[in-house]
């Protein structure tokens, strides 16, 4: 059963779109390269969920000066507009688990690097998702090994920083190694950040930069993971290149706050959301239920410990369903949780928008919310309640957005915010 049409839901959806517009890869790259007559004829190597959008922005800004481009992304994110450009080659990679196409994309990137002439301007564009989409493995590590590690890591609840500490060791392109291969060129890096601190050595596990210090491996790793890590290739010195962060989570949060701030009170807590998605949902809903109408604007990346055979959903759907339990029966509370890239976990749904009636609608559809949470099967419950959010590929990836609204049904926020 679909949720009833409610202007407050439309309001939250329009705010979400305002946030996405502020960090759109095409618009951000077009702005970043405006007036760059000094670049000459360029090559482009773009990797990540926003790679296609970022490349389109380069083409908007530089036009025929783009002589060659390799774009690696998820199949759903490969904008068909790239087919209009004969200089562009697209490659699909696996995500969130690497596959054979990820390795083929990695070899294509190294081949491109080998063909770079001395002094050739190269724009290296990186966004979240690149770690899985492009890979070249060291001797002694197989694709099966890498897939096994990735699946284990996704289920373990490890945060992305600790996962990447292992990924960097299992690669011939990460942690500055791709930059070393590009050393004959004149390389500039541009990235959309989905990581705390916007560290270019973390985005894509170091496609743009070598880590300044060697992170110790996380504690508690299985023995077979430690054995793989010993196969690592020594990190190369690589290049020190100009690097520009063209979009970050804070840009999206600021755009949402600005769009909503003329309509109702807005709270943007310091720091990022992290840790267990259920705990985060409970904490956000506890603050949301305090007296007084207003909007809470938050972002970050939570984690979920997956059971052995998880169902349908991702961390945003998990968080949203946990929130639905907290606000059940309330007609004044709503919460949107969604990935800025338009996907969530093993689904192509961005997340969900829940309200006080979500729990009853899902139960009427034959589902139990607590059982779905325990089975990491929140997507099926939220489909039954009519609360899933589907955007398609968004052209960006700055992390997850959570918008929590306290507003009486008779006090609609009204018109659509400007974007």
One digit per residue, pLDDT tens: the chain, 419 residues? Answer: 667 689 999 999 999 999 999 999 999 999 999 999 999 999 999 999 999 999 999 999 999 999 999 999 999 999 999 988 999 999 999 999 999 999 999 999 999 999 999 999 999 999 999 999 999 998 888 999 999 999 988 888 777 777 877 888 889 999 899 999 999 999 999 999 999 999 998 999 889 998 876 666 777 788 888 888 776 666 666 678 999 999 999 999 999 999 999 999 999 999 999 999 999 999 999 999 999 999 999 999 999 999 989 999 999 999 999 999 999 999 999 999 999 999 999 899 999 999 999 999 999 999 999 999 999 999 999 999 999 999 999 999 999 999 999 999 977 685 544 43
Rounded to whole angstroms, the Cα distance separating 188 from 71 reads: 16
For residues 175 and 172, give the distance between their C-alpha atoms in angstroms, rounded to a whole number.
Answer: 8
Dihedral angle over CA of 411, 413, 415, 416, nearest 10: -150
What angle, 0 to 180 degrees and rounded to 10, lies between the N-to-C axes of helices 25-32 and 51-62? 40
DSSP string, 105-125: HHHHHHHHHHTPPTT-EEEEE
Neighbours of 410 (CB within 10 A): 7
User: CA distances (Å), 250 to each of 49, 294, 383, in order?
Assistant: 19, 20, 30
Q: What DSSP string runs through 278-318?
A: HHHHHHHHHHHTSSS-EEEEEEE--B----SS--S--HHHH
- Which of these, 392, 400, 354, lies nearest to 9 by C-alpha position? 354
- Name residue, tokens 């210090």: 213
Residue 164: the pLDDT is 79
Contact present, 356 and 330 (Cβ < 8 Å): yes
3-state class (DSSP) for residue 369:
helix
How far lies 156's CA from each of 90, 149, 159, in Å? 32, 10, 9
Written as six digits, the tokens of 205 are: 């596990």
Segments in 138-237 forming alpha helices (H) = 143-156, 160-167, 177-181, 223-229
Upstream peptide bond of 130 is cis (omega within 30 degrees of 0): no
Rounded Cα distance between 127 and 204, Å, is 7
Question: DSSP 3-state assignment of 220?
Answer: coil
Side-by-side strand order, sheet with 121-126 = 88-92, 66-73, 42-47, 121-126, 186-192, 243-247
What per-residue confidence (pLDDT) applies to 2?
67
pLDDT of residue 373: 98
CA angle 230-232-237, nearest 5°?
140
Contact 128, 397 (CB under 8 A): yes
Q: Measuring CA to CA, which residue among 352, 355, 353 is closest to residue 344?
A: 352
Spell out the domains of the chain, with CATH numbers in brackets: 7-20+249-406 (3.40.1480.10), 24-247 (3.40.50.10180)
Helix (H) or strand (E) holding 337: strand 333-339
Instruction: Count CA atoms closer than 13 A to 108's CA, side-chain side.
Output: 23
pTM: 0.93
| 3-class DSSP assignment, residue 406 | strand
What does the DSSP assignment read for 51-103? HHHHHHHHHHHHGGGEEEEEEEE-GGGS-GGGGG-TTEEEEE--SSS--HHHH
What per-residue string of b and e applies to 336-359 under the rule 16 or more CB within 10 Å gives b?
A: bbbbbbbbbbbbebbbbbbbbbbb
How deeply is 365 buried, as exposed, middle or buried, from its count of CB atoms within 10 A (0-12, 13-18, 19+)? middle
- How far, in whole angstroms, is CA 333 from its chain's centroid? 26
Q: Which two tokens stand for residue 382?
A: 């939220």
**DSSP code at position 418:** P
The DSSP H or E segment spanning 7 is: helix 7-22
Q: Please report the pLDDT score of residue 1 as a whole number.
A: 63
Angstrom distance (rounded) from CA 288 to CA 366: 28
The rounded Cα 335 to chain-centroid distance in angstroms is 20
């Amino acid at each position: 059963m679909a949720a009833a049409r409610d202007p407050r839901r439309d309001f939250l959806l329009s705010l979400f779109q305002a946030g996405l517009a502020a960090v759109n890869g095409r618009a951000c790259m077009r702005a970043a390269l405006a007036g760059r007559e000094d670049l000459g004829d360029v090559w482009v190597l773009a990797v990540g969920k926003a790679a296609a959008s970022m490349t389109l922005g380069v083409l908007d800004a530089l036009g025929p000066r783009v002589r060659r481009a390799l774009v690696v992304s998820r199949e759903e994110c490969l904008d068909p507009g790239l087919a209009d450009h004969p200089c562009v080659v697209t490659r699909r990679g696996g995500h969130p688990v690497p596959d054979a196409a990820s390795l083929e994309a990695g070899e294509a990137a190294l081949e491109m690097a080998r063909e770079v002439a001395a002094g050739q301007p190269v724009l290296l564009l990186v966004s979240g998702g690149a770690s899985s989409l492009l890979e070249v493995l060291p001797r002694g590590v197989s694709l099966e090994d890498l897939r096994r590690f990735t699946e284990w890591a996704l289920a373990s609840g490890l945060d992305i920083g600790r996962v990447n500490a292992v990924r960097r060791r299992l690669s011939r392109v990460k942690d500055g190694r791709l930059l070393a291969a590009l050393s004959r060129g004149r390389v500039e890096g541009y990235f959309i950040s989905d990581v705390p601190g916007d560290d270019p050595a973390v985005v894509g596990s170091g496609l743009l930069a070598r880590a300044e210090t060697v992170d110790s491996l996380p504690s508690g790793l299985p023995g077979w993971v430690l054995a793989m890590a010993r196969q690592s290739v020594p990190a190369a010195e690589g290049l020190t290149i100009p690097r520009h962060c063209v979009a970050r989570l804070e840009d999206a949060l600021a755009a949402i706050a600005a769009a909503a701030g003329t309509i109702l009170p807005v709270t943007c807590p310091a720091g990022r959301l992290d840790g267990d998605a259920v705990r985060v949902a409970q904490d956000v809903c506890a603050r949301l239920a305090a007296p007084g109408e207003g909007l809470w604007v938050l972002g970050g990346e939570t984690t979920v410990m997956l059971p052995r055979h998880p169902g349908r959903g991702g961390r945003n759907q998990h968080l949203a369903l946990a929130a639905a339990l907290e606000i059940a029966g309330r007609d004044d509370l709503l919460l949107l949780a969604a990935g800025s890239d338009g996907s969530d976990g093993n689904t192509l749904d961005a997340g969900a928008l829940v309200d006080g009636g979500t729990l009853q609608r899902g139960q009427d559809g034959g589902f139990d919310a607590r059982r779905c949470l325990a089975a990491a099967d929140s997507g099926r419950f939220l489909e039954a309640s009519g609360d899933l959010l589907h955007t398609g590929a968004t052209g960006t990836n700055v992390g997850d957005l959570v918008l929590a609204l306290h507003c009486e049904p008779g006090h609609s926020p009204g018109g659509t915010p400007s974007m």
